[in-house]
Amino acid sequence: MKITHSLATAALALGLATGALAQDKTKVGFIYVGPIGDGGWTYEHDKGRLAVEEHFGDRVETVYRESVPEGADAERAISQMALQGADLIFTTSFGFMEPTLAVAEKFPNVKFEHATGYKTAPNVSTYSARFYEGRAVQGHIAGQMTESDVIGYIASYPIPEVIRGINAAFLHARAVNPEVEFRIIWAYTWFDPAKEADAATALIEQGADVILQHTDSTAPQAAAEKAGDVITFGQASDMAEYAPMPRVSSIIDNWAPYYIERTEAVMSGTWESQQIWHGIAEGMVEIGEITDAVPEDVREEALALEQSMADGDYHPFTGPIARQDGSAWLAEGEVAEDDTLLGMDFYVEGLSGQIPN
């Protein structure tokens, strides 16, 4: 009797304790556009989520939903998280912009963070990374590594972010190699391994010995490996399984510091709506290890370039730069404004071909 009683008390106490603990926990939700096993974009966001769990331990609870289609389904997924007590929700794809804002209006006490969008609200922040800084480093390495002077570029959709990346890489490749030219394929997908592999193969067959990609699968890496003497760079994720060749470096989206910082802000009640665009300096963009396949001097220059951007001494879009049609864009020493970069819809001088649509 006694034992039963004390057991019951213990159970009750335990139940209460966990209940109380659950109350204290900050609940952080993540909405992903792809599967966490995509090896690129969503995979890195999920690493950020795991970092939040590790950093805060028992003080947080994280929830996520993967492969959420954009549109009505996204709105329901976000609402569901808000209903179930999430304090902070990260929506990690551009297509979630309108659904995020719609849900945010209904849940004024929940904080929302939308990746890569441009609309905010009192409880909605936006965040994105200056991937073009990483592209500058890629262009720098690629321009010196290429022997055929043909660099292949697998682009996803003709949107400012992608165009910015092409321009940044091209400017820095040209700076070290005036002969270099870019071949660009618009794949019209963020993620389609077979198509990306075909695109990489087509570029390689047309003489490209460097492949840059702005799509998320590792298929181009595999295609380059198969072809032999071709180098690539990891995109979104390190893609280290293809190092040291063909993958000689990478741009890594490191969301962990930001996710931890914003979770902390919610915990301490200091969260405020903001629009941030972080780069190498803040650690949101990282350059993955430059492998031995790259000559030492090129490696050091690339690291110096990275450092100068980290220190804020150098901006990848510093004049003089002309547009593709020859008209002046930035004067000598002039630095591009964020607004122009965010809406970039033109190629810089020297790139051939047209941006579709």
Partner 1 sequence: MLKLETRPQPSRLWTYVAPLLAVVITMLAGAALFAALGKDPVAAIATIFWQPLFGEFAHYYRPQLLIKGAPLVLIAIGLSLGFRAGIWNIGAEGQYIMGALCGAAVALALYPMENGLIFPLMVLAGALGGWIWAMIPAVLKLWFGTNEILVSLMLVYVAEQFLAAMALGPMRNPDGRGFPGSRNLRQYESAHNAELISGTGMHWGVVAALIAVILAYVLLTRHSLGYQIRLTGQSPRAARFAGVRTARLVLVCLGSAGALAGMAGMFEVSGPAGQVTIDFNVGYGFTAIIVAFLGRLHPVGILAAGLLMALTYIGGEIAQSNLGLPAAAIQVFQGMLLFFLLAVDVLTNYRIRIVTREAA
Partner 2 sequence: MDLGSISPALLLASLMVAATPILLAALGELVVERAGVLNLGVEGMMITGAICGFAMAVNSGSPLVGFVAAAAVGAALSLLFALLTQFALANQVASGLALTLFGLGLSALLGQGYVGIKPPRTPRLDIPVLGDIPFLGRVLFSHDLVVYLGLALAGLIWWMLKYSHAGMVLRAVGENHHAAHALGYKVVRIRVLAILFGGACAGLGGAYLSLVRVPQWTEGMTSGAGWIALALVVFASWKAGRVLLGAWLFGGVAVLQLNLQAAGIAIPVEYLSMSPYLVTILVLVTMSADKSRAPASLGRIFHASQ
Question: Which residues would be at the binding site for partner 2 (CB under 8 A)?
Answer: 34-35, 37-39, 43, 67, 152, 183-188, 191-195, 197-199, 201-203, 205-208, 217-219, 222, 226, 241, 352-354, 356
Shortest Å, Cβ 247 to partner 2? 12
Looking up tokens 């470096």 gives 249
Structural tokens at position 203: 């570029």
**How many CB atoms sit inside 10 A of residue 224's CB?**
28
The answer to whether 329 and 348 have CB atoms below 8 angstroms apart is: yes
309 binds, among partner 1, partner 2, none (CB under 5 to 8 A by kind): none
Q: Which of the listed partners (partner 1, partner 2, none) does 152 bind, with a CB threshold of 5 to 8 Å by partner kind?
A: partner 2
**CA-CA distance, 336 to 52, in Å (whole number)?**
34
Q: Which does 160 bind (CB under 5 to 8 A by kind): partner 2, partner 1, none?
A: partner 1
Closest Cα to residue 200, out of 184, 188, 189?
184
- Token readout for 133 is 């800084």
Quick one: what does residue 271 bind among partner 1, partner 2, none, with the CB cut-off 5 to 8 Å set by partner type? none
191 makes contact, choosing from partner 1, partner 2, none, with CB < 5 to 8 Å by partner type, with partner 2
* Residue 329: C-alpha distances to residues 16, 286, 332, 340, 342 (Å): 65, 28, 10, 10, 15
Q: Compare residues 51 and 159 and give the one whose CB is closer to partner 1.
A: 159
Q: Which is nearer to partner 2, 31 or 197 (CB)?
A: 197
Q: How far is the CB of 356 from partner 1 (least distance, A)?
A: 8
Of residues 124 and 199, the one with the C-beta less far from partner 2: 199
Min dist. Cβ of residue 306 to partner 1 (A): 28
- What the block records as the tokens of 120 is 């905010």
Strands 328-330 and 321-322: antiparallel
Q: How far is the CB of 38 from partner 1 (least distance, A)?
A: 12
Q: How far is the CB of 239 from partner 2 (least distance, A)?
A: 8
Task: Give min distance, CB of 352 to partner 1, in A.
Answer: 21
Q: What are phi and psi of 39, to 5 degrees?
A: 75, 5
Q: Which is nearer to partner 2, 317 or 347 (CB)?
A: 347
Minimum distance between the CB of residue 224 and partner 2, rounded to whole angstroms? 12
Q: Would you list the DSSP string of 65-116?
A: E-SPPSSHHHHHHHHHHHHTT-SEEEE-SGGGHHHHHHHHHH-TTSEEEEET
Residue 309 sits at the vertex; the CA angle it makes with 116 and 347, to the nearest 5 degrees, is: 60
* Closest CB to partner 2 among residues 36, 341: 36
Residue 46 and residue 30 in contact, taking contact as beta carbons nearer than 8 Å: yes
58 vs 147 by CB, closer to partner 2: 147
Minimum Å distance from CB 128 to partner 1?
Answer: 12
Backbone angles phi, psi at 51, to 5 degrees: -65, -40
* Distance in angstroms (rounded) separating the CA atoms of residues 335 and 319: 6
Q: Which does 345 bind (CB under 5 to 8 A by kind): partner 1, partner 2, none?
A: partner 1
Q: Which one of partner 1, partner 2, none interacts with residue 55, CB within 5 to 8 A by kind? A: none
Q: Amino acid identity, residue 346?
A: F
Token pair 């000559």 in the structure block, residue: 295
Q: Which of partner 2, partner 1, none interacts with 353 (beta carbon under 5 to 8 A by kind)?
A: partner 2
Q: Which residues bind partner 1 (CB under 8 A)?
A: 29, 35, 63-67, 69-73, 75-77, 79-81, 83-84, 94-95, 98, 102, 118, 157-160, 163, 188, 342-345, 356-357
